Amino acid sequence: GEPSVHPAWLPSEAFRALGSRRVLVHGDGPLVDTVETEVTWACSRFGGQALVAPYRDEPVDLVLALRWAGPLPAPATRALAPLNETGGGLGDEGFLLTRVGDTTVLLAGGPAGLLYGLYHVVRLGEAAFDPGLPTRRHRPALRRRMLDHWDNVAVHPLMGQVERGYAGGSIFWRNGGPRRDLARIRAYGRLLAACGINAISVNNVNVGGTEARLLTERLGDVAEIADVLRPFGVRVHLSVTFAAPVVLGGLPTADPLDEKVRSWWATTTRQVYERIPDFGGYVVKADSEGQPGPLTYGRSHADGANLLAEALAPLGGVVHWRAFVYNHRQDWRDRRTDRARAAYDHFAPLDGEFRTNVILQVKYGPIDFQTREPVSPVIAAMPATRLAVEMQVTQEYTGQQRHVCYLGPLWREILGFRPWGEEGRTVAAVVAGEPAQGPTRTRSGPGGGLVAVANVGDDPYWCGHPLAQANLYAFGRLAWDPELDPAAILDEWIDLTFPPTATEDPALVRETVHAIMDDSWRTYERYTAPLGVGFMVNPGNHYGPQVDGYEYSPWGTYHFADRDGVGVDRTRATGTGYTDQYPWPWRDVYESPETCPDELLLFFHHVPYDHVLHSGSTVIQHIYDTHFAGVEQVEAMFRRWQLLAGVIDPALHERVTDRLDEQVLSAREWRDHVNTYFFRKSGVPDARGRRIH
Q: Does 525 bind ligand GCW (CB under 6 A)?
A: no
Instruction: Tell me the C-alpha distance between 292 and 289, whole Å.
Output: 9
Question: What sign results for the dihedral spanned by CA atoms 308, 344, 150, 198?
Answer: negative
Minimum gap (Å) between residue 160 Cβ and ligand GCW = 11
Cis upstream peptide for 377 (omega within 30°): no
Minimum gap (Å) between residue 289 Cβ and ligand GCW = 6
Question: Is the Cβ of residue 205 or residue 474 nearer to ligand GCW in the bound state?
Answer: 205
Give the residue, chosen from 205, 244, 405, 637, that forms a contact with ligand GCW under the rule CB under 6 A. 205
Minimum gap (Å) between residue 304 Cβ and ligand GCW = 16
Number of residues that bind ligand GCW (CB under 6 A): 11
Give the residue, chosen from 166, 173, 324, 462, that forms a contact with ligand GCW under the rule CB under 6 A. 324
Instruction: Tell me the C-alpha distance between 280 and 624, whole Å.
Output: 49
Minimum gap (Å) between residue 148 Cβ and ligand GCW = 9
DSSP notation for 69-86: -S---HHHHHHHHHHHHH
- Measured in degrees and rounded to the nearest 5, phi and psi for residue 421 equal 85, 180
SS3 per residue for 559-615: CCCCCCEECCCCCCCCCCCHHHHCCCCHHHHHHCCCCCCHHHHHHHCCEECCCECCC
- 283: helix, strand or coil: strand
Minimum gap (Å) between residue 285 Cβ and ligand GCW = 5
CB 495 within 8 A of CB 128: no
- Give the residue nearest to ligand GCW (CB): 368
**Which residues does 600 contact at the CB level (< 8 Å), separation at least 6?**
372, 373, 374, 531, 532, 590
Instruction: Tell me the C-alpha distance between 243 and 109, whole Å.
Output: 41
Please list the active-site residues: 289, 368, 396
Question: Is the Cβ of residue 285 or residue 412 nearer to ligand GCW in the bound state?
Answer: 285
Question: Is the Cβ of residue 375 or residue 516 nearer to ligand GCW in the bound state?
Answer: 375
Question: Is the Cβ of residue 343 or residue 474 nearer to ligand GCW in the bound state?
Answer: 343
Minimum gap (Å) between residue 91 Cβ and ligand GCW = 31
CB 161 within 8 A of CB 155: yes
Site for ligand GCW in 276-295 (CB under 6 A): 285, 289
Give the residue, chosen from 34, 170, 206, 471, that forms a contact with ligand GCW under the rule CB under 6 A. 206
321: enclosing H helix or E strand: strand 318-322
Q: Does 550 bind ligand GCW (CB under 6 A)?
A: no
Minimum gap (Å) between residue 546 Cβ and ligand GCW = 15
First to last CA, the chain: 41
Minimum gap (Å) between residue 254 Cβ and ligand GCW = 19
Minimum gap (Å) between residue 163 Cβ and ligand GCW = 5
Instruction: Tell me the C-alpha distance between 677 and 529, whole Å.
Output: 12
Instruction: Tell me the C-alpha distance between 232 and 610, whole Å.
Output: 56
DSSP state of 243: T
DSSP state of 281: E
CB 299 within 8 A of CB 258: no
User: Per-residue x/- mask for ligand GCW, residues 489 to 508, rule CB under 6 A?
Assistant: --------------------
Q: Does 150 bind ligand GCW (CB under 6 A)?
A: yes
Question: Is the Cβ of residue 184 or residue 322 nearer to ligand GCW in the bound state?
Answer: 322
Give the residue, chosen from 38, 93, 163, 569, that forms a contact with ligand GCW under the rule CB under 6 A. 163
CB 92 within 8 A of CB 111: yes
Question: Is the Cβ of residue 410 or residue 660 nearer to ligand GCW in the bound state?
Answer: 410
Instruction: Tell me the C-alpha distance between 73 and 76, whole Å.
Output: 6
Longest dimension (CA), the chain: 83
User: How far is residue 375 from each of residues 118, 417, 528, 533, 588, measured CA to CA in Å?
Assistant: 35, 8, 20, 14, 15
Site for ligand GCW in 337-376 (CB under 6 A): 368-369
Integer Rg of the chain from CA = 26
Tell me the residue ranges of DSSP E strands in 110-252.
136-138, 145-148, 151-156, 160-162, 173-174, 177-178, 199-201, 235-239
User: Which of 290, 291, 286, 289 shows the shortest CA–CA distance to 305?
Assistant: 286
Give the residue, chosen from 16, 145, 149, 164, that forms a contact with ligand GCW under the rule CB under 6 A. 164
User: How far is residue 110 from each of residues 61, 234, 415, 423, measured CA to CA in Å?
Assistant: 22, 15, 27, 35
Minimum gap (Å) between residue 205 Cβ and ligand GCW = 5
Question: Is the Cβ of residue 144 or residue 164 nearer to ligand GCW in the bound state?
Answer: 164
Q: Does 221 bind ligand GCW (CB under 6 A)?
A: no
The one-letter amino acid code at 329 reads R
Instruction: Tell me the C-alpha distance between 414 and 486, whole Å.
Output: 12
Minimum gap (Å) between residue 396 Cβ and ligand GCW = 6
Instruction: Tell me the C-alpha distance between 545 and 556, whole Å.
Output: 18
Minimum gap (Å) between residue 390 Cβ and ligand GCW = 8
Q: Does 459 bind ligand GCW (CB under 6 A)?
A: no
Residue 30: how many other CB atoms lie within 10 Å: 12
Q: Does 386 bind ligand GCW (CB under 6 A)?
A: no
Give the residue, chosen from 151, 287, 396, 599, that forms a contact with ligand GCW under the rule CB under 6 A. 396
Question: Is the Cβ of residue 143 or residue 164 nearer to ligand GCW in the bound state?
Answer: 164
CB 478 within 8 A of CB 411: yes
DSSP state of 400: T
Q: Does 211 bind ligand GCW (CB under 6 A)?
A: no
Question: Is the Cβ of residue 199 or residue 656 nearer to ligand GCW in the bound state?
Answer: 199
Question: Is the Cβ of residue 116 or residue 242 nearer to ligand GCW in the bound state?
Answer: 242
Question: Is the Cβ of residue 221 or residue 368 nearer to ligand GCW in the bound state?
Answer: 368
Question: Is the Cβ of residue 326 or residue 624 nearer to ligand GCW in the bound state?
Answer: 326
> Interface residues with ligand GCW (CB under 6 A)?
150, 163-164, 205-206, 285, 289, 324, 368-369, 396
